[in-house]
Amino acid sequence: MAQTETVTTEASVAATKPDFIHRALRHRAFMIGLVLTGTMIFLALLSLFWTPHSPTEIVISQKLKPPSMSHWFGTDQFGRDILSMIMAGAQTSIVVGLIAVSLGAVIGVSLGLWAAARRGWTEDAIMRVSDLNMAFPVILIAILLTAGWGPGITNAILALGIYNISVFARQVRGAAIGMWEREFVLAARAAGKGDVAITFGHVLPNIISVIVVQATISFAIAILAEAALSYLGVGSQPPDPSWGRMLAESQKYIFFKPVIAVWPGLAIVLSVLGLNLIGDGLRDLVDPRLARRR
């Protein structure tokens, strides 16, 4: 087991150095990403206990009000407070992203590791299934699920999760094959270790950074996709708050109150931007060689 701790790749050496935090603090894009994503998570958590107004309460007398002290972002066509709806909508985005990315990561990473360890026909079979998976962009999977079972947030989660399986499988397989060719794996094999022990003891710990970076980027894509699916009516359904559906509803009032179409869009952009900046930053931080080349 001592081998695992002493023999690591340059990438993970960089990640475990004590100055990692210092470098992270000096990485401007990464820090901006952290602040944006932190704000989104904070608002989502806060909305579990408190929102300025109820995000679902309909007050027709207050409909389509411009921003004011009592409604910072104004109100929608049913008089609901837009800020409260955006705070509650963050919950939906985070929940969908978390479940979908975890689903894709757990199955995809396992398949990728398996393919890299066994090679031969096992790898071929896994990669062909992954090719098949790639033929269906998220939206097509969601369309099929909706046509068969009716619309719902579960479709969005499943569609994103299924799509992410092949994304993770491909990434992890590539990175893991590289590890299997390293001397320390040969040494472990010579010491009599089996595929499973090597995979979990040596290969997986050394490609964790690849998986974390991919998870961050997949999370960002999940937020965009969930919003798009809800906008199209095949994702989250009323009364669940959702940024995508807020935009779909605001479009009907675009000629009278265009401003209500601005807020949910901004929330999506800032969340996705935050996660993308974290992903890019992590990639630079765990592999400084790459950062210098960029």
Partner 1 sequence: MSVFLARRFLTFLITVSGASVIIFLLLEVLPGDPALTMLGVDAPDSAIEALRLELGLDRPAPIRYADWIAGLFRGEMGLSYVYKVPVTELIGQRLAVTLPLAIGAMVVATLAALSLGIFAATNHNRVGDYGVMGFSQLGLAIPDFWFGILLIILFAVILRWLPSGGFPGWEEGIWRGVRSLMLPVFTLSLSLTAIMTRVTRSSILEVAREDFVRTARAKGLSRRAALWGHVLRNALVPVLTIGGVLVSAVVTGTLVIENVFALPGVGKLIFDAISNRDLMVVKNVVLLFAAIVVVVNFVVDILYALVDPRIRIQA
User: In sequence order, what are the residues at sequence separation of 6 or more whose Cβ sits closer than 8 angstroms to the Cβ of residue 31?
Assistant: 24, 25, 281
Which residues, numbered 194-223, are part of the site for partner 1 (CB under 8 A)? 220
Give the containing element (helix H, strand E) for 242.
none
Among 185, 268, 278, 282, binds partner 1 (CB under 8 A): 268
- 265 part of the interface to partner 1, by CB under 8 A: yes
Which residues, numbered 149-168, are part of the site for partner 1 (CB under 8 A)? 149
Among 272, 278, 285, 286, binds partner 1 (CB under 8 A): 272
The span of 19-27, 56-64, 98-106, 242-250 binding partner 1 (CB under 8 A) equals 242-250
Size of the site for partner 1 (CB under 8 A): 45
Q: How far is CA 102 from CA 95, 158, 161, 213, in A?
A: 11, 11, 8, 13
Residue 258: CB minimum distance to partner 1, A: 4
73: region left, alpha or beta (phi > 0 left; psi from -120 to 50 alpha): alpha
- 277 part of the interface to partner 1, by CB under 8 A: yes
Nearer to partner 1, 127 or 208 (CB): 127
- 35 part of the interface to partner 1, by CB under 8 A: no
Among 38, 66, 137, 194, binds partner 1 (CB under 8 A): 137
- 38 part of the interface to partner 1, by CB under 8 A: no
User: In sequence order, what are the residues at sequence separation of 6 or more whose Cβ sits closer than 8 angstroms to the Cβ of residue 154?
Assistant: none
3-state class (DSSP) for residue 75 = strand
Nearer to partner 1, 101 or 247 (CB): 247
- 121 part of the interface to partner 1, by CB under 8 A: no
Report the alpha-carbon distance of residue 22 to residue 34 in Å, rounded: 14
Q: How far is CA 69 from CA 65, 98, 211, in A?
A: 11, 34, 44
- 88 part of the interface to partner 1, by CB under 8 A: no
Among 106, 143, 204, 212, binds partner 1 (CB under 8 A): 143
Give me 62's structure tokens. Answer: 């207050």
- 278 part of the interface to partner 1, by CB under 8 A: no
Q: What's the residue count for the chain? A: 294
Sign, CA torsion 190/196/199/202: negative
Among 90, 250, 281, 285, binds partner 1 (CB under 8 A): 250
Which residues, numbered 46-65, are part of the site for partner 1 (CB under 8 A)? none
Residue 155: CB minimum distance to partner 1, A: 11
Are 226 and 272 in contact by the 8 Å Cβ rule? The answer is: no
Are 263 and 241 in contact by the 8 Å Cβ rule? The answer is: no
Report the alpha-carbon distance of residue 26 to residue 19 in Å, rounded: 11
Residue 39: CB minimum distance to partner 1, A: 15
Are 185 and 197 in contact by the 8 Å Cβ rule? The answer is: no
Report the alpha-carbon distance of residue 200 to residue 126 in Å, rounded: 19
**Contact positions toward partner 1, by CB under 8 A?**
128, 131-132, 134-140, 143-149, 220, 224, 227-228, 231-234, 244, 247, 250-251, 254-255, 258, 261-262, 264-265, 268-270, 272-273, 276-277, 293-294
